[in-house]
Amino acid sequence: MPNTRILATGRAVPDRVVTNAELAEKIDTSDEWIRQRTGIEQRHWIAVGESGSGLALKASERALAKAGIPASDLDAIVYATSTPDHFAPGGGVYLQRDLNVGTIPALDIRTQCSGFVYGLSLADCYIKSGMYRTVLVVGAEVQSTAMDVSDRGRNTAVIFADGAGAAVVQACDEAAGSEILAWDLHSEGAHAELLWVDAPGSVYHPRNQAEHIDSKGYLSMDGKEVFKHAVTRMPESVQAVLDKGGKSTEDLTLLIPHQANLRISEMVQKRLGLRDDQVYNNIQRYGNTTSATVPIALDECLEQGLIQRGDLIALTAFGSGFLWGSALIRY
């Protein structure tokens, strides 16, 4: 059975920077409140004409360039998004089209903030089963276009943002020294409505109703409940992959947690007993980009030389669903 390794990563965010001060002009909030409660200082939102699949394309092209392989080497695309460009089809086919690759499969997955971790697990299975050799895994989101930028939406509008990250994942042999050592994946649909976008949904007759745009069309979140579950599930899940891989927290070079909220990451770090230099955070500059947070952070860590080949790293994520999970990787 081959091993799986991440060959290279890429990221892309829109040029438009939205500061806390800009939000405070439209919403009853303040820079101080947002920094204190979330750690966020700024985020990126798309301009008219930009799209999630467009960000995914840029991130993917950068990842392919760093991997030093042409897009034609890809065997499959796994595209994680909770905010596809259109209700149907999903975003993967637009990326397949725009990368100008052959008729390779492009699979969308809808696991929200855990999207990249789930996507990577699929790529790992494709590769280990021998079905595919090179898989592109993408997390791409545009949250800003359905954000309630008003006092009513202030607990989400200050948090969520746009961006994309991509990883080229490829089969390798044992001599390469890289491998994905363990997985831990979960869901708990009992809490589906604690962080969700109600409409449009095919449960409604008809699916598209004008009045839903304002009443059910925005991301809605019970922040306190989400917080409570996130700070329990992520440490639990990281511990699970460490146990499965026969490793301990001291063996970890770096944990890359989903960038939900800086206070969540700090509590995850504390509960696992990790040092500051063992946990990477960049939510200050990007906000919460849902499925894109983990690959964007991974790309920054690689660029800054914080991760070298052979280092032990863990990825963990938690979000809407609830869905959560972790990967333990010998990079």
Q: Which residues have a catalytic role annotated?
A: 113, 258, 288
Of the candidate residues 158, 169, 252, 328, the single one contacting ligand COA (CB under 6 A): 158
Residues in the chain: 331
Does the protein bind ligand COA through residue 155 (CB under 6 A)?
yes
Does the protein bind ligand COA through residue 234 (CB under 6 A)?
no
Q: How many whole angstroms separate alpha carbon 281 and alpha carbon 264? A: 11
| End-to-end C-alpha distance for the chain, whole angstroms | 18
Does the protein bind ligand COA through residue 224 (CB under 6 A)?
yes
**Cβ proximity to ligand COA, 44 vs 62, nearer residue:** 44
Q: How many whole angstroms separate alpha carbon 81 and alpha carbon 92? A: 9
Q: What b/e string do you get for 115-140 counting C-beta neighbours within 10 Å, with b at 16 or more?
A: bbbbbbbbbbebbeeeebbbbbbbbb
**Cβ proximity to ligand COA, 34 vs 74, nearer residue:** 34
Does the protein bind ligand COA through residue 291 (CB under 6 A)?
no
Read off φ and ψ for residue 211, nearest 5 degrees: -70, -20
- Structure letter (DSSP) for residue 100: T
Does the protein bind ligand COA through residue 33 (CB under 6 A)?
yes
For residues 84 and 52, the answer to whether their CB atoms sit within 8 Å is yes
Q: How many whole angstroms separate alpha carbon 139 and alpha carbon 119? A: 8
Residue 23: CB minimum distance to ligand COA, A: 8
Total residues in contact with ligand COA, by rule CB under 6 A: 21
- Structure letter (DSSP) for residue 279: B
Using CB atoms within 10 A of its CB, is residue 88 exposed (0-12), middle (13-18) or buried (19+)?
A: exposed
Residue with structure tokens 């949904």?
Answer: 201
**Cβ proximity to ligand COA, 129 vs 150, nearer residue:** 150
Does the protein bind ligand COA through residue 326 (CB under 6 A)?
no
Residue 260: CB minimum distance to ligand COA, A: 3
Among 170, 92, 189, 187, CA closest to 132:
170
For residues 167 and 313, the answer to whether their CB atoms sit within 8 Å is no
Residues in contact with ligand COA, shown as a per-residue x/- string from 74 to 113 under the rule CB under 6 A:
---------------------------------------x
Tokens standing for residue 153:
């939406």
Residue 319: CB minimum distance to ligand COA, A: 4
Which segment (77-85, 121-129, 168-176, 217-225) binds ligand COA by CB under 6 A? 217-225
Does the protein bind ligand COA through residue 134 (CB under 6 A)?
no
Does the protein bind ligand COA through residue 29 (CB under 6 A)?
yes
With H, G, I as helix, E, B as strand and everything else as coil, classify residue 313.
Answer: strand
Of the candidate residues 2, 105, 200, 223, the single one contacting ligand COA (CB under 6 A): 223
Does the protein bind ligand COA through residue 264 (CB under 6 A)?
yes
**Cβ proximity to ligand COA, 200 vs 223, nearer residue:** 223
Contact set with ligand COA (CB under 6 A): 29, 33-34, 37-38, 113, 154-155, 158-159, 221, 223-224, 226-227, 230, 260-261, 264, 288, 319
